Structure formats: C-alpha cells, structure tokens
A and B are shown apart, each in its own frame.
Chain A
Amino acid sequence: MKPFHIHSPKWSRRKFLTRTGSAGFGVTGLASTLTNLNLIQNASAASTGMNMGEYKALVCFFLGGGCDTNNLLIPIGSHPGRPNYEADRRFVAVSEEDISNAGTELNAPSAGNQQYALHPSCQAMAQMFNDGELAMVANCGTLAVPIPENVSLNDYNATIKPIQLFSHSDQVNEWFSSIPQNPFVSGWAGRVASLFRSAPYSDPAPAGQGINKDSVASMLITAAGSTDLLVSPGGTIPQYAVSRTGAISLFGYGSNYSSAVQNGAYTNNSAGRRLRAFESVINYEHEHIIEQGYSDVLKSARENEALIGAATNIADSAADGPFPTDNYLETVFLDTYNSRIGSNFTNATDLPADVQEMLITCKLIAGRDCLGNTRQVFFMNKGGFDNHADINALLPGLLSDVDAIVACFNEAMKALAQYDSAFDYNMVTMFQASDFNRTWTPNTSGTDHAWGTHVFIAGGAVAEANTGGSKIYGKFPELAIQGANDIPGNNNRGRWIPQISTDQYYSRLAKWFGVSTADLESIFPNLANGFSSPFDPATNLDFIGLT
C-alpha cells in the first residue's frame, strides 16, 4: 500500500502572481485580478508551456433522492423482462409506443435479443449511446462483499451488508466512500486526490511529468456545495466550492471588488481600507498552530478565489481564451438547452440552477491552465428524485433536465476540443451516481427506496472504448419479484441486489484517471473481498479505456 503523504499546498508567491495576473500591483488576492481582465492573459500565457496533453477530469453527476432507473433503462421488444416490466410496474411502466415516438431505442447489438431503450425524455442521451458516447452499467450499487444471484435468505442474512441500506444519507455517503460497511471517513475522489498529492505521482505519466506537479489549487471542485465525495483523508486536501457564476467573493466590497480596488490599488475609502486591513491580517504569521491554521484557510480561500476567477474569465473572454466569441460556452449551453427543452432562454443566468452548475464546471475545464492541475474532479448535483408520490408527473421532467444537462456537457466538451488545441474530447468523463434505485413495484403513486441501480458514463473516452457501438455493461437484472436478483425474504418488491459494486465501477474510472493498478486497492479496499476484477473481460466493465 502506498502511503498518503500529507502536506499543505506548496506554491510560490511568484507562481501565484503569475497564475492570477496580480503581478506588479502588490495586491495579493482576487481584488486586482477581477478588476483587471487584461492581466488574465498573463496567467494564460504563463501556463502555455505546461504539458496539458495529460489533462484528465472526472465530473460526477449525482441524482439526489434515488432516481428510479428502472424507468431510465427500459426493456423493450423481445427482451425477456418486458412482460414482467409491464405486469409489475403497472401504471409507472413506460409504453413502447411512447418510446417509439420519442425514438429512444438503444442500438446495442452485443445485447442480442435483449432490446433496451432509454426513457422517452432522454432523446439526446439515447443518441449519444447510439453514437458510442454514452454507456450504461446495469445493477450497480454499494457492496462490502459480493452477493451472488439467487442467494438464500440465510446466506443473505449472514452477509456483511452496507450500513443502513435504504436510508438516504447513509447510502449517499456510501456511494461516495465506496466503503459501505464502515462509517464514513473519506470519499474515494478525496482519496485519489491524496494519492496524487504524493507528488510527483508518476505512474503512468512520464518521468518529470507527474500528475498535478504544477498544482496551485485543489483538484477537488464542487459546484453543488460541500460533498462527501471530495472529502480527503484527514481533510488535508480542501474541496473548493464554486457558485453558479464562479468564485465566491468576499461580501461588502462591491461587484468584483469595485468598491475596494481601482486600477490595481486599494481605494482610499472605507471599503479599500477594510480590504487592505483584512489582507494584512490574514498574512500574519501565528505561533499558535490553530491560529495559523485558521489564517491559512483564509489565505487559501482568497488564493483559490483569485484562481477560479481567472479560470472563468479565460472561458468567457474571447481575447484571453480559446473560443471565437465572448461567452462562447454560455452560447453552447443556451442553444443546447433551448433545443432540448423547447425554451427560449437568452441569458445563462436564467438557466435552471443545476444547468448552471454544469456550465461553471465546463468553464473551469476551459480555464484549467490557471489552476495548474492535470487532474481534476468536479461534482454537481440534481435533486428531486425521491418520488414516493406523483412519479408519473415528476420523473419525465426530471429526466428531461438530466438529458439536457448531459447534452450541454457533451456539446461543451466538443466545442472546447474544436477551439482549444491543447484539449481533446476524450479528456473529460462524466459519471453518474444516485442514492439507490427504487422499487420495481410501485406504491399508490410512486416508488420507494431500493438498492442496485443503473448508471451512465459519458464523454470522449467512453466513445473511444465503444467504437463498435455502446453496450449495457455489467449484468442486467432478471426483473422478477422473488427472482435471481431480488432481496430474499417475504417482503419482495423488486429491490435488486447489485451485481456490480461501486468499487468495480469506480476502479475503471480511477484507472483511466491515472491511479496505478497497485494503488487501486488502497483507494478501494473492498476490491480485495472477492469481487471479480473490473479489468477481467468477463466482468463486462470495459466502458472506458485504461489509459
């Protein structure tokens, strides 16, 4: 096992000034950066010498509340599960006529006679699947040890299972930690970040090109508030939370610090004096470790604020960034979203909050040079899937939003690849997760908490692995009450026991991301508990390449 080396971010004042465009003004922090857009070009130019060919990012798209993926990936036609689907799901079953009208049938030749479709709301995702740009993994979930199909009740009861199955917060934590039999300590992406901070993490990068060796900010960024996915061991690597519009600025200094800073200098008013005093105070050195720690947090926040501001400005400004016009990514998002939803939004700030979360994520990817990371993990969330009631009224709209967000992401990555010569479409992979699946049989108007769920992955690296057409990876459940995949006992409502663990699912992503095979078991310790190798073709998880 490779030990995690814990240390604070190390970067020089010179590097900071270069990155943030604050050089020459004697103002450390965001103030001058945000008010002098010309300086952003310095930051951009300073980083052009970096080898960005190794850049990779993971974007976690979490569907909060437990999405009913039994209605996301649907058996159709001659699929042996279709009769059960109609009989058991009753009023929540999606008709084949609706699917045909929407054209969301999946072209998955490798599935043989098992025909599938996505929900009629997911037209863009279905097209991406048929183009090989999106893949599905069936029946994935939290597991401490493998639980075979057709497990007996006695064996099931004797098996170590995730803590508090079916409870929202526990299952969310366990999807993030991927160690579901233990109380939460860290998220798997946070553990990967710790591993990469054992700089230089040189496998598989060539010597001298270690992952994140020029990092000047956390590689863990959330657009949806603090998340356990990005919690590193001991909290040594902070997650940086951005707002929908980018960096979160200090309150009380005007828009973009205009009340406190002008022409790169503090203004001679109360706001300017307050900001100068504040920045002086946070630069004090303290003998007491807690005082110093507190001061370091403030400084780190101010520094990250500057860097994030610089990154989003690169994405927005045609003069500084790769795009042909200002706010190009916003145009891509508006066009794609309006096209999918049928809306007429003309301003990015009018888009739904979760769409804006994806937009700021894509902007930070476009402005990645400012942060100096060759690996980044982003998190965004769309809630509202806990549909115990009114599911037929709610789920189509929710999935329509998901479809639009995935389409926006995909189009943004293609646009970036078109205009940024240092960026390839295959550098960023979106992966989806949710609390759990929902019951196969409905209650009076909705569905309830269950377990194994279907997830999707999207991006250029997925397309590279699916040149012959995408697939349903993992093993699709039998779809039968008291069948091979249902939890045994006498209270059966179709709660599928996962046949692919989150460890197996994430391992493919982590390996692609740069984690060595030897380190995978330190990130995912449950892999050693008897799960089949995620790299064994028989496990059927090659939805993404390994390099």
Chain B
Amino acid sequence: MKKISIFAILILTGLAAVFFVPGIREVPESDSTTKPTGLKVQKKNHVSRPGPPQPADNPEISIVGRNPYDTGIRNDQRIQQDEDGRNMVMEAVEIARGLHSENLAPEEDLEHLNQLLFFYRLSFERNPVAADNRMVMQALLGNNPEKLVVFPSDHPSLDSTGQLLDRWGTPYFFHPLSGTEMEIFSAGPDKTLNTSDDIAWTNRDGNPLTGKEQTEDDQLNAEP
C-alpha cells in the first residue's frame, strides 16, 4: 500500500510539471518572417557594421546539418515546389515580396536583399558566383544547382532583362567582395550611382565604388 502511494505521488507530480511548468506545455510558433538581425544600412557616409550574419547569430532559423532545407523531412512546408520543379524557399520569397513596400524605409530594402543572400548562403555556403545584378538575380531566381528559389520571378521590381530595380527604378549594384560578403548599392532618388544620396550596404569606409583607398589623413579626419 505504501509503495502504491509513492508511485501515485510521483505520477501526479510528473503530470503537474507537464501542465504547470512554463515552456514545457506550449511551444511557441516560430515567426515566419524571422530575419537575420544586427545589421545596419548606411547612407553614403558609411559607418562600420557588424560582419555578415552567421547561422549561430539567428537562433530562430533552425539549421539541420549544412543545408537547413535538406532535412529529409517529407512535406517540409518551408520548401514548396512550383510547376517548373523549382524549390521555393517560402520564408525568403515572403521577404522578397515585401521588398520596396511602403512599410519599409529605403535603407531596409538593402537589409532585406542581404537577408535573401543569407538564405542563399544557408544552402550553398557562398554567395552566387556573380559579377553583376543580372547574374545575382539569375541565381536567386532558381538558376542554381538545387533550383532553389529565394526570389519570385513575378516580382514587380524585376525588369525585362532580369535586373532587380530599386524603388526608384534603377538597377541595384552588387559588388562581390568575397564568397560570403556582397556589398549592395542603390543609386537613391537621383537615380545616379556614386552620388551623395546613394544607399549602401557595406562595412567599408571611404568610397567603395571608386576603389579609392583611404589615406592616413582620411582615417584621422574620419568621424569616430
């Protein structure tokens, strides 16, 4: 009788823990629009920003192995095939669709573009092998080994040549620094690149578009 009582108490304690201890009973749904954080976009006078996002910095994005979309799980809702057999990364496509929306500041457009490249890197480890806007967009549109689509082909900001235009109608300028770091530039409202209203996604000082290196005097005179 005594043993039965002890077992009963243990079972009741376990059930109580399941129902009353926070965090065990309910698992919050992940935010489908979760995005890499901690990055800044600067106007023409750049200020250093943190390095490129790493998976470890984004706990909301679950990663299994090297390729988060290669989980082996059937009917993974994060990936949906279109009629052409391409694999749409729904989370990325959703971000892409929000590009240039009224809710976003122009600077945030570049942040979102960098997020799309981040999704690409999650699968391929490196940025698209690309030297310009068209080549970047071809890769993001699914012209890649896994037919992974992180940008929808019916996006209104794609022009007839496959270039992605900024909210003022000028093609973005993509500048590959390395396999994991891509600078992005918008020509801004005046639609002319290399002018004071440009918006740049970069962590370099000086003027990355001209390749002009900072002199020691420039560095001394730079704002802290």
Contact = CB atoms under 8 A, between A and B. Distances in A.
Interface of A: 65, 161, 163-170, 383-390, 394, 439, 443-446, 448-450, 491, 493, 495
Chain B, interface size category, equals: 20 to 34
Contacts of A167: 127, 129, 176-179
Given A389-B209, A444-B194, A491-B138, 19 more contacts: A163-B179, A164-B126, A166-B129, A166-B130, A166-B131, A167-B178, A170-B178, A383-B211, A384-B211, A384-B212, A386-B211, A388-B173, A388-B211, A390-B194, A394-B210, A439-B131, A443-B193, A449-B131, A495-B131
B178 A394 contact: no
A164 B125 CA distance: 11
A445 B209 CA distance: 10
A490 to B, nearest CB: 9
Contacts of A164: 126-127, 129, 176, 178-179
Given A394-B212, A444-B192, A446-B210, A388 B175 contact: yes
A168 B211 contact: no
Contact of A390 (B129, B132, B210): B210
B112 interface: no
B134 interface: yes
B29 interface: no
Given A444-B192, A448-B132, A388 B177 contact: no
A169 B175 CA distance: 12
A491 B209 CA distance: 21
* Nearest 4 CB-CB pairings of A with B: A386-B211, A166-B131, A389-B194, A167-B176
B132 A169 contact: no
Contacts of A445: 193-194
Given A445-B194, A449-B131, A169 B211 contact: no
Contact of B211 (A387, A493, A495): A387
A465 B153 CA distance: 56
A103 to B, nearest CB: 28
B213 interface: yes
Nearest to A450: B131
A493 B132 contact: yes
B135 interface: yes
Interface string B79-90: 000000000000
Contacts of A394: 210-212
20 contacts: A161-B129, A164-B127, A164-B176, A166-B130, A167-B127, A167-B129, A168-B177, A169-B177, A388-B173, A388-B194, A389-B209, A390-B210, A394-B210, A444-B192, A444-B193, A446-B210, A448-B132, A449-B131, A449-B176, A493-B132
B211 A491 contact: no
Interface string B174-188: 011111000000000
Given A166-B130, A166-B131, A389 B193 contact: yes
Contacts of B208: 386, 388
A148 to B, nearest CB: 20
Contacts of B132: 448, 491, 493
A388 B131 contact: no
B176 A168 contact: yes
B60 to A, nearest CB: 28
A260 to B, nearest CB: 28
Contacts of B193: 389, 443-445
A166 B129 CA distance: 7
Nearest to B126: A164
A165 B211 contact: no
Contacts of B211: 65, 383-388, 394
